[in-house]
Amino acid sequence: TLALEAYNLIVDDFDGSCFLQNVRVESNKHGLKHLQALILSEILGEKNINLASVQRGISMIQQRLRRKKVLLILDDVDNRKQLQAFAGRSDWFGPGSRVIVTTRDEQLLKSHKVERTYEVEELNKYDSLQLLIWNAFKRANFDPSYEDVLKRVVTY
């Protein structure tokens, strides 16, 4: 949610952009090559980009995006191969580019030599309850008979 909000706030400052959601799930389902093609298609505004291999995708990302100021958000990354396939080094993209990675694995970021990290703090019980209520009922008010079960869900 925070990554999407950041994307929406700054996307207009870039030549091209891509918000790649659920990298962990999507790479398992469709493969890295498919996601590389999605990144290139979104940023370049081209349809039907076909890649012969992940290595060809790496090469194309480096060649086609090295002069572009891009915003690339990789959401829920869970292994180093994903980072290497989509954003191997900072010189793959033009000056002023930003790559934002969300992950639960801090070691993954360290092994990829990510420059800056930000750890999102856990919500307190009150804020967690408010978020659950909004997601469950799409409004702040709810039937009081649900209060006990909502509190149990937040505690869990």
Residues 20 and 85 in one domain: yes
Residues 100 and 132 in one domain: no
Which residues 6+ apart lie within 8 Å of 1 measured at CB? none
In the prediction, which pLDDT does 113 show? 82
Asked whether residue 61 carries a pLDDT value surpassing 90, the answer given is yes
User: pLDDT above 90 covers what percent of the chain?
Assistant: 67
Range of the domain at 135: 125-155
In the prediction, which pLDDT does 82 show? 96
In the prediction, which pLDDT does 143 show? 86
Q: What is the distance between the terminal CA atoms of the chain, rounded to a whole angstrom?
A: 21
In the prediction, which pLDDT does 27 show? 96
Residues 143 and 70 in one domain: no
Residues 107 and 39 in one domain: yes
Q: How far is CA 131 from CA 11, 22, 117, 137, 150, in A?
A: 26, 21, 25, 10, 11
Of 30, 14, 1, residue with least CA distance to 97: 14
**pLDDT digit string, tens, across residues 109-152:** 988 888 888 888 888 999 998 888 888 888 888 888 988 999 99
Residues 55 and 96 in one domain: yes
How far, in Å, CA of 86 to CA of 42, rounded? 13
Kindly write down the DSSP assignment for every residue of 97-120, as one continuous string: -EEEE--S-HHHHHHTT-S---PP
Supply the mean pLDDT for the chain: 93
**Mean per-residue pLDDT for 45-57?**
94
In the prediction, which pLDDT does 90 show? 84
Report how many domains make up the chain.
2
How far, in Å, CA of 139 to CA of 131, rounded? 10
Buried b / exposed e along 34-43 (16+ C-beta atoms within 10 A): ebbbbbbebb
Which residues 6+ apart lie within 8 Å of 46 measured at CB? 40
In the prediction, which pLDDT does 114 show? 85
Under DSSP, the state recorded for 67 is: T
In the prediction, which pLDDT does 37 show? 97
